[in-house]
Amino acid sequence: MIMKIWLLSSTLFLCCHVFGQTGVVVLTEEFTLSAPFTAKIHVTMPNGTTSTTNITHEFTNVAQHDINLNNIINSIVNQGYKIIQAPEGWGFFGTPTSGALRRIFFGVP
């Protein structure tokens, strides 16, 4: 019995360790849905570090918003990552009176 528990624990640890080495980058856009309009991009790298960049809100200037967002996405892609399918339930969150989050996941090809 102890051997089975040890084997299961070791297998789970190994799977988690291997998955952690695959390198998933999470880009989260945090924005308000009412005035004053603000938008931020949080990029979390596989090592756990997160950087935050203020960008133009799409209600203020959609073209500038898309330019800002595209530049950040391109910087992630230029590091060798590509957009991957998000886990179910990790797309768009929000309420009409406050703010919302939009996520894009990147993985190593």
Residuewise pLDDT in 10s, the chain (109 residues): 444 333 333 433 433 444 444 689 999 999 998 888 999 999 999 999 999 999 999 999 999 999 999 999 999 999 999 999 876 655 666 665 678 888 899 998 6
State how far the Cα of 9 lies from the Cα of 11, in Å rounded to an integer.
5
**11 Cβ neighbours under 8 A, 6+ residues apart:** none
Helices (H), 1-109: 2-20, 62-77
Quote the pLDDT of residue 91: 60
Q: What is the pTM of this model?
A: 0.72
Quote the pLDDT of residue 102: 87
Quote the pLDDT of residue 95: 63
